[in-house]
Amino acid sequence: MKTSGFLGNARSMLRCIALILAVLGAGCGAAFSEAATQLKWEMLIPPTEPLANFPDALPFEQQEALRDVLYWKGHPSGELSEEFALQRDEAKKRVDADREKLAKQGVDLDALYERYVAWATEIERRGTLTEKKLDGAQVAIAGYLLPLDFNPDGTTEFLLVPYFGACIHEPPPPPNQVIYLKSTAPYAPAALFEGVMITGTMRVQSERKDLSFVDGSSEVASGYVLEGESIEPYHGEGGGQ
């Protein structure tokens, strides 16, 4: 059964964070201004206590029951086509059966759902935390460019993300792993997700930007703004293949 709703987004976020740390943990070695602090992406995430992956700790039967609850609650009946309304009704029947079955095992499915919501909410909250000490700092960071305007002569507004493919086929990284880049001069990427090293002034500031795709657009939240003074193609760790 396809994972959906809170469960899918929260677990995708955990996968994003794990990929970010795995790809960028070793940092970047390109030359940059001595006045700039070279950042790794994990340095944008304030230290917090480890958070266990709650759904993965559950027995498979409870995971399946939780997915049914999430699907049922995540699709209000008044907003669905006839086909999806039937699927929702089937999910509701499974929820009722799961609730009764788990109750015989001493497990409260509704309480399980509430625990999940609390866990997913905490993941979402942690994704918005930012390092205030970086506000106003001169920094250098490597990442992948997503232009917000596809002008062939170049544009000045981008999203900078920590790994290739971010924001396209899965939920975007958490806001503290997305940087809204404002370049002082137009820059024309050689390709989508070009690896670059950016030097400039970091601002701890929340933004929401529309990222355009061939089949539509999606709003992406960022926790930082980087006033880019230099954009250089980069093919080291965290900035290229």
Tens of pLDDT, residue by residue over 151-196, are 889 999 999 999 998 887 678 999 999 999 999 999 999 998 999 9
| Domain ranges, ordered by start, for the chain | 28-45+131-233, 55-126
Query: 59 and 76 in contact (C-beta within 8 Å)?
Result: no
The confidence band for 30, taking pLDDT boundaries of 50, 70 and 90, is: very low
Q: How far apart are CA 230 and CA 146, in angstroms?
A: 16
Measured CA to CA in angstroms, residue 123 lies from 44, 112, 188 at distances of 16, 17, 35
109-136 per-position pLDDT tens digit: 999 999 999 999 999 999 999 999 999 9
3-state secondary structure of 96: helix
Angle 109-126/5-24 helices, nearest 10 degrees?
A: 40
Q: What topology does CATH give the domain 28-45+131-233?
A: OB fold (Dihydrolipoamide Acetyltransferase, E2P) (2.40.50)
Residues 6+ apart with CB under 8 A from 222: 159, 175, 178, 179, 180, 206, 207, 208, 209
Q: How far apart are CA 50 and CA 14, in angstroms?
A: 12
Q: How far apart are CA 229 and CA 153, in angstroms?
A: 18
Query: 58 and 75 in contact (C-beta within 8 Å)?
Result: no
Query: 101 and 33 in contact (C-beta within 8 Å)?
Result: no
